[in-house]
Structure 1
Amino acid sequence: MKNRHRLTRRDFLRNLTVATAGVVGLAACAPAAAPQAGQSTGGEETSQASAEPITITFIVDTINEGHVQVRNKWAQEFMEAHPNVKVDHQPIPQDYTTKIQTLFAAGTPADVYRYLQEVTPIITVAEKNMHLQLDDYIARDNYDLSDFRPDAVELYRWEGKTYALPRDYGNQNLFYNLDLLEEAGIEPPPADWEDKTFTFEVFLDMAQRLTKRSGDRTEQWGFLVNRGQRPWASWLYCNGGALVHKDERGVATDCALTDEASVEALQFLQDLMYKYEVAPRPDLESELGGFDLFATGRVGIMLTNPSAVNLFRTIETFRWDVATLPLGKAERRGTGGGGTGWAGAAATKHPDVVWEFLKHISSPEAELDEVSVGATTPSRLSVVLSDAFLDPEKPPKNARAFAQAQEYVVRDPVHVLWPEITQRIYNPKMDLLWSGTNDAATVAQMIKEEADPLFARSS
Structure 2
Amino acid sequence: MLDLFEQKHPNIKVNRVFAPGGQDYITKLDLMIASGDPPAIYGPFSDRGYRYYAAKGLSQELDDFVARDKVNLDDFHQDGLKGCRWRGKLMALPLDLWPHVIFYNRHIFREAGVADLPTDWNNQEWTTERYEELAGKLTKREGNRVVQFGSDVYFRGWPAGWVYGGDWFPPDTYTTGIVAEFIGDKDPRVINGVQWTADLINKLHYAPTPAQAQQIQAGVPVLFMSGKIGMGVADIGRLSRYAKIKEFEWGVGVLPRPPKGEPRRHHVWIDYWSMIKGTKNLEGAWQLLKFMVSPEAQEIYPIQYGPLSSLKSLASTWSKYHAKNLPNLSSKEFQVITDAPQYQVIDPENWTVNFSVINAQVMQPALDKVYLGQESAEQAIKNMAPKVRKVIEETKNV
2:210 to 273, 278, 282: 282
State the distance in 2 between where 1:321 and 1:131 align. Answer: 42
| 1:17-76 deviation line (CA, Å, top 9, x unaligned) | xxxxxxxxxxxxxxxxxxxxxxxxxxxxxxxxxxxxxxxxxxxxxxxxxxxxxxxxx221
Q: How does 1:132-147 map to 2 (within 5 A)?
A: 132-147=60-75
SS in 2 for 1:239: coil
Distance 1:450 1:108, change over 3 A: farther
Bigger RCO (CA 8 Å, 6+ sep): 2
Cα distance in 1 between the residues matched to 2:285 and 2:328: 37
Classify 1:316/1:162 alpha carbon distance in 2 versus 1 (closer, same or farther; 3 Å). Answer: same
The corresponding residue for 2:164 is 239
Counterpart in 2 of 1:80? 7
Cross-structure match for 1:442:
379
CA drift at 1:98: 4.0
Q: Which residue of 2 aligns with 1:357?
A: 288
Judge which range, 384-393 or 277-286, deviates more. Answer: 384-393
Q: Give, as a single letter, the amino acid of the residue that structure 2 aligns with 1:158.
A: W
Match of 2:235 among 305, 308, 326: 305
**Paired position in structure 2 for 1:418:** 355
Cα deviations by residue, 1:97-144 (Å, 9 ceiling, x for unpaired): 44334444555432211135842362x333212222111111111222
Aligned to 1:271: 199
Partner of 1:197: 125
Give the secondary structure class of the aligned counterpart of 1:80: helix
User: What's the CA shift string for 1:372-396, capped at 9, x where partnerless?
Assistant: 5433122111212324356276343
Q: Does 1:406 align with 2:341?
A: yes
1:320 aligned partner, one-letter code: W
Deviations 1:389-408 (A, max 9, x none): 56276343202112222112
Give TM-score scaled by structure 2 length.
Answer: 0.88
Scaled by the length of structure 1, what TM-score is found? 0.77
Structure 2 distance, partners of 1:177, 1:291, is 16
More helix by share: 2
Of the candidates 20, 31, 43, which is equivalent to residue 114 of structure 1? Answer: 43
Q: By how many angstroms is 1:215 displaced? A: 1.9
State which drifts further: 79-88 or 418-427. 79-88
Aligned partners of 1:384 and 1:390 also within 8 Å? no
SS in 1 for 2:300: helix
- Asked if the contact 2:216–2:228 (Cα under 8 Å) also holds between the matched residues in 1, the reply is no
- What are the residue-to-residue correspondences of 1:26-45 with 2, within 5 Å? none
* Partner Cα distance (1:227, 1:150) in 2: 24
Partner of 1:28: none
Q: List per-residue Cα deviations over 1:156-189 (Å, max 9, x = no partner).
A: 1123211111111222111111111011011222
Provide Cα deviations, 1:280-308, integer angstroms capped at 9, x if missing partner. 10233345549532112111111111132
Tell me which residue corresponds to 1:331: 262
Partner residue, 1:321: 251
Q: Spell out, residue by residue over 1:202-250, the C-alpha distance to the aligned partner (whole angstroms, 9 max, x if none).
A: 1111111111111232211111115565xx62x5334121122244854
Question: Tell me, what secondary structure is at the counterpart of 2:120?
Answer: coil
2:28 counterpart residue number: 99
Residue 415 of structure 1 deviates from its aligned partner by 4.2
Number of residue-to-residue matches in the alignment: 382
Which residue in 1 is equivalent to 2:135?
Answer: 207
Query: 1: CA distance between counterparts of 2:155 and 2:210?
Result: 9
* Distance change (3 Å), C-alpha of 1:332 and 1:225: same
Aligned mates of 1:268, 1:410 — CA distance in 2 = 21
User: Which moved further from structure 2: 139-148 or 266-275?
Assistant: 139-148
Give the equivalent residue in structure 2 for 1:431. 368
**C-alpha distance in 1 between matches for 2:367 and 2:53:** 28
Could you tell me how far 1:443 is from its partner in structure 2?
1.5
Using the TM superposition, give the Cα deviation of residue 149 of structure 1 relative to its aligned residue in structure 2, in angstroms: 2.2
Amino acid at match of 2:371: W
Q: Is the Cα–Cα contact under 8 Å of residues 371 and 389 in structure 1 kept in the other structure?
A: no
Partner residue, 1:396: 329
Secondary structure (helix, strand or coil) at the match of 1:437 reads coil
Q: 1:307 & 1:446 partners in 2: Cα distance? A: 35
- Secondary structure at 1:261 match in 2: helix
- Aligned partners of 2:106, 2:205: CA distance in 1, in Å? 21
In structure 2, runs of 5+ residues without a counterpart are none
Match of 2:389 in 1: 452
The worse-fitting range, judged by mean Cα deviation, of 369-378 and 302-311 is 369-378
Among all aligned residue pairs of Structure 1 and Structure 2, give the percentage whose two residues are the same amino acid.
27
Task: Please tell me the root mean square deviation across aligned C-alpha atoms, in Å.
Answer: 2.4
